[in-house]
């Protein structure tokens, strides 16, 4: 069931989303060579709790941490540990924060020091693929329009699209209906209505699209070890378009 949020709920989701944005802005200067992903997780957890948020990832189906930290060929759901960031790495920080019962969810990929041109290209065009998807958000359009816009942009830029993972509705729960695939057919799927809130989140690779799951049952990596990027926003359908509830503050 796709829920339509009331004005009161939208106001709370805006606050949850803004807290997600603040946390990304807070952690950015710490993303440097030598810091461990566990240290990043601890800093963020403290930040979230200090701002009256809750760490929705922690304990979600047993996930142990506040953040997903996914380095280089890890696509999503990397578990914070003692791995130190190295110059030239890319790391995706994905977080879901609860605020007064509502969820905000955003991921973006960061460069550690100087990264090579392939990784720069991957990051730039994965974020642009997300923005192409977001541009399709308005009442009357359908989920397939978003999916198709992302697919077309990724194909034009010769990036692999991870098929097994997708975006989702969000509200009181982190994952609600509908699913928002990163490939699809225009004019198919549920129709967008004002008050719906969805997470759009392309996961693109510099090589082939195929992935595998590590034995920890969380970490998803590319089979060919090519780097992957992941950008995600929580997006509200408004009367005439969209509002990004997790705006980038940089």
Contact of 93 with 112, CB cutoff 8 Å: no
Which residues, in sequence order, are bridge partners of residue 94? 68, 107
The interface region with ligand MF3, picked from 16-24, 57-65, 85-93, 128-136 by CB under 6 A, is 57-65
Q: Which stretch binds ligand MF3 (CB under 6 A): 21-29, 31-39, 60-68, 208-216?
A: 60-68
Is residue 68 near Co ion by the rule CB under 5 A?
no
Give yes or no for residue 57 binding ligand MF3 (CB under 6 A).
yes
**Does the protein bind ligand MF3 through residue 60 (CB under 6 A)?**
yes
Q: How far is the CB of 23 from ligand MF3 (least distance, A)?
A: 13
Q: Identify what 94 binds: ligand MF3, Co ion, none; CB under 5 to 8 Å per kind.
A: ligand MF3
Q: Are 142 and 107 in contact (CB under 8 A)?
A: no
Torsion of the alpha carbons at 13, 175, 22 and 27, rounded to the nearest 10? 170
Q: Which of 77, 142, 209, 221 binds ligand MF3 (CB under 6 A)?
A: 77
Taking residues 175 to 214 in sequence order and writing x for each that binds Co ion by CB under 5 A, - otherwise, the string is: ------------------------x---------------
Q: Which residue has the tokens 């510099």?
A: 206
CB atoms within 10 A of CB 32: 11
The least CB distance from residue 211 to Co ion, in Å, is 17
Residue 232: helix, strand or coil by DSSP? Answer: strand
CA dist 197 and 176 (Å) reads 9
Q: Does 217 bind ligand MF3 (CB under 6 A)?
A: no
State how far the Cα of 126 lies from the Cα of 119, in Å rounded to an integer: 10
First to last CA, the chain: 35
Q: Which residues bind ligand MF3 (CB under 6 A)?
A: 57, 60-61, 63, 68, 77, 94, 96, 105, 199, 201, 232
């Amino acid at each position: 069931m796709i829920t339509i949020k009331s004005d009161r709920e939208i106001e709370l989701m805006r606050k949850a989303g803004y807290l997600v944005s603040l946390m990304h802005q807070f952690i950015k200067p710490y993303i440097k060579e030598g810091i461990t992903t566990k240290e990043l997780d601890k800093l963020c957890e403290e930040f979230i709790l200090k701002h009256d948020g809750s760490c929705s990832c922690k304990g979600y189906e047993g996930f142990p941490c506040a953040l997903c930290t996914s380095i280089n060929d890890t696509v999503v759901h990397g578990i914070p540990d003692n791995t130190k960031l190295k110059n030239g790495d890319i790391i995706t920080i994905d977080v879901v924060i609860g605020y007064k019962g509502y969820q905000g969810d955003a991921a973006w990929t960061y460069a550690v020091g100087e990264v090579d041109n392939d990784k720069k290209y991957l990051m730039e065009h994965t974020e642009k693929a997300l923005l192409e998807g977001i541009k399709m958000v308005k009442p009357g359009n359908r989920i397939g329009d978003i999916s198709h816009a992302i697919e077309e942009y990724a194909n034009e830029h010769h990036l692999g699209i991870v098929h097994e993972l997708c975006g989702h509705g969000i509200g009181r729960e982190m994952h609600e209906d509908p699913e928002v695939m990163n490939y699809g057919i225009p004019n198919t799927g549920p129709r967008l209505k004002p008050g719906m809130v969805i997470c759009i989140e392309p996961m693109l690779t510099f090589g082939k699209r195929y992935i595998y799951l590590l034995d920890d049952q969380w970490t998803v990596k590319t089979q060919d070890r090519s780097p992957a990027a992941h950008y995600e926003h929580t997006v509200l359908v408004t009367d005439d378009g969209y509002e990004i509830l997790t705006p980038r503050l940089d």
